Amino acid sequence: MRNLQDRKTIVVGMSGGVDSSVSALLLKQQGHHVIGLFMKNWEETSENGQCTSAADFDDVRKVCEQIDIPYYTVNFTKDYQEQVFKQFLKDFERGWTPNPDILCNREIKFKVFLNKAKELGADFLATGHYAQIADLNGQSHLLVGQDSSKDQTYFLYTLTHDILDQVLFPIGHLEKTEVRELARRYHLATSEKKDSTGICFIGERHFRTFLSQYIGAQPGNFETLDGKVVGTHNGAAFYTLGQRKGMGIGGAGEAWFVVGKNVEKKVVYVAQGTNHPALFCEELEASDLSWVTQAPSSFPFPCQAKVRYRQTSSDCEIISLANGCLKVRFLEPQRAVTPGQSIVFYQNNICLGGGVITQPGASYYKLNKSLLSNYRNS
């Protein structure tokens, strides 16, 4: 945890969860002037009719009153719609599987929200992320959290060193079990509250039902790699590479998995078997790059990388970087490399940065030329 010598004014992004609650508690105990700030980014009720943001703010109020700090709420629903949700829908419509949490961190939490914290006179913005910040060679670097099972650097790779200079992650040096124990020890109202899941600020929804409110149905076929029709679907946008459930394809043999999509032709390609070769590739391309300090200057550049959250980092090398696009080769084949998801680079426990996957390399399966062309242009 970053050591602050003097008393600082620190705005804590309060979500109504246990992690941000303990973050505020720790900073208060260190003698800082702490302000709780709650963001409202989504105004719709959940599927069961509850206004989740109202319930979350009530938990923020309880915790802030318990630890005796002022608290406020800000409404960024318009910013979220314009800068996150519109892009989220656009990516789905073109057949990608976007990660709104990453875009929300870049555009809302550590831009709009950080600016609001500064307006309130904050020296730092603190959040309950499981990540760490260290000063290395005169620059702030992003380090993985102490609790490897909760590390959130995958979602934070777009934070540059100048942003990290203004940010604190008070619980990044703790295990989740320690955070829960602190909340219980001080009887915080959120001590037993379950961790939030689902889409950033939108929460848990029946995903296909939620998405169909914004993206019209585009019925098409499930096809095998040799062109055999094995079922129908309501839209390729509702499926992602590596998906197993929710396709309604029966029959003998192993389970079916999504291995490719062609949105224009409304085709979702499927194959049987958890380890079908069409699910694996060794290379990928990525764009929309962001580096915490600076981009690699020589190639090939050896490092480790993740192509999804909760994945163990795998050895790879960045082959080239040109015109805002990079190519990456893994030492071992990666499963279900998905356009729209991010690849995030590491060197040991340091997060270097990352980018959005635009195209997986050709799979191990020997696709015929026309199918491979369709897959790449989907």
Q: Among this protein's residues, is 104 annotated catalytic?
A: yes
Tell me what pLDDT residue 45 has. Answer: 54
**313-352 residue pLDDT tens:** 999 999 999 999 999 999 999 999 999 999 999 999 999 9
Asked if 251 and 229 count as a contact pair (C-beta separation under 8 A), the reply is no
Fold classification of 279-365 is: Elongation Factor Tu (Ef-tu); domain 3 (2.40.30)
Tell me what pLDDT residue 254 has. Answer: 92
Q: Count Cβ atoms within 10 A of the Cβ of residue 215 and give its class: 0-12 exposed, 13-18 middle, 19 or more buried.
A: middle
Return residue ranges of the chain for CATH 3.40.50.620: 9-185
Q: Nearest 5 degrees, angle CA 355-CA 273-CA 336?
A: 0
| Residue 227 clears pLDDT 50, i.e. is over it | yes
Q: Which of the residue ranges 62-71, 86-95, 280-289 would you say has the lowest mean pLDDT?
A: 86-95
| Pick among 1.20.120.550, 3.30.420.40, 2.60.40.60, 3.40.50.620: CATH of 9-185 | 3.40.50.620
For residue 366, name the pLDDT band (cuts at 50, 70, 90): very low
Tell me what pLDDT residue 115 has. Answer: 97
Tell me what pLDDT residue 3 has. Answer: 78
Asked if 111 and 154 count as a contact pair (C-beta separation under 8 A), the reply is no
Tell me what pLDDT residue 14 has. Answer: 96
Question: Which of 200, 303, 316, 351 is labelled catalytic?
Answer: 200
Mean predicted confidence (pLDDT) in 10-14: 97
**187-199 residue pLDDT tens:** 999 999 998 765 5
For residue 211, name the pLDDT band (cuts at 50, 70, 90): confident
SS3 sequence of the chain: CCCCCCCCEEEEECCCCHHHHHHHHHHHHCCCEEEEEEEECCCCCCCCCCCHHHHHHHHHHHHHHHHCCCEEEEECHHHHHHHHHHHHHHHHHCCCCCCHHHHHHHHHHHHHHHHHHHHCCCCEEECCCCEEEEEECCEEEEEECCCCCCCCHHHCCCCCHHHHCCEECCCCCCCHHHHHHHHHHCCCCCCCCCCCCCECCCECCCHHHHHHCCCCCCCEEEECCCCCEEEEECCHHHCCCCCCCCCCCCCCCCCEEEEEEECCCCEEEEEECCCCHHHEEEEEEEEEEEECCCCCCCCCEEEEEECCCCCCCEEEEEEEEECCEEEEEEEEEEECCCECEEEEEEECCEEEEEEEEEEECCCCCCCCHHHHHHHHCC
Average pLDDT, the chain: 90
For residue 44, name the pLDDT band (cuts at 50, 70, 90): low
| Residue 114 clears pLDDT 80, i.e. is over it | yes
Q: Report which residue type is found at 370.
A: S
| Residue 51 clears pLDDT 60, i.e. is over it | no
Tell me what pLDDT residue 367 has. Answer: 43
Measuring CA to CA, which residue among 222, 191, 146, 273 is closest to residue 19? 191
Q: Which is the CATH superfamily of the domain at 217-272?
A: Adenine nucleotide alpha hydrolases-like domains (2.30.30.280)
**Location of structure tokens 């550590």:** 110
Return residue ranges of the chain for CATH 2.40.30.10: 279-365
Q: Among this protein's residues, is 200 annotated catalytic?
A: yes
d(CA 315, CA 303): 6
Q: For the chain, what percent of residues have pLDDT higher than 90?
A: 79
Asked if 105 and 159 count as a contact pair (C-beta separation under 8 A), the reply is yes
- Using CA atoms of 298, 310, 287, 94 in order, give the dihedral in degrees to the nearest 10: 160
Cβ neighbours around 165 below 10 Å, total: 12
**135-152 residue pLDDT tens:** 998 999 999 999 999 999
Which two three-digit tokens encode residue 331? Answer: 């030492």
d(CA 230, CA 95): 20
Tell me what pLDDT residue 365 has. Answer: 59
Mean predicted confidence (pLDDT) in 30-55: 78
| Residue 353 clears pLDDT 80, i.e. is over it | yes
**232-274 residue pLDDT tens:** 999 999 999 999 998 999 778 899 999 999 999 999 999 999 9
Tell me what pLDDT residue 368 has. Answer: 38
Asked if 258 and 239 count as a contact pair (C-beta separation under 8 A), the reply is yes
Return residue ranges of the chain for CATH 2.30.30.280: 217-272
Q: Which of the residue ranges 87-91, 311-315, 367-371 would you say has the lowest mean pLDDT?
A: 367-371
Question: Which of 104, 303, 316, 351 is labelled catalytic?
Answer: 104
* pLDDT top residue among 202 and 109: 109
Q: Which pTM does this prediction carry?
A: 0.91
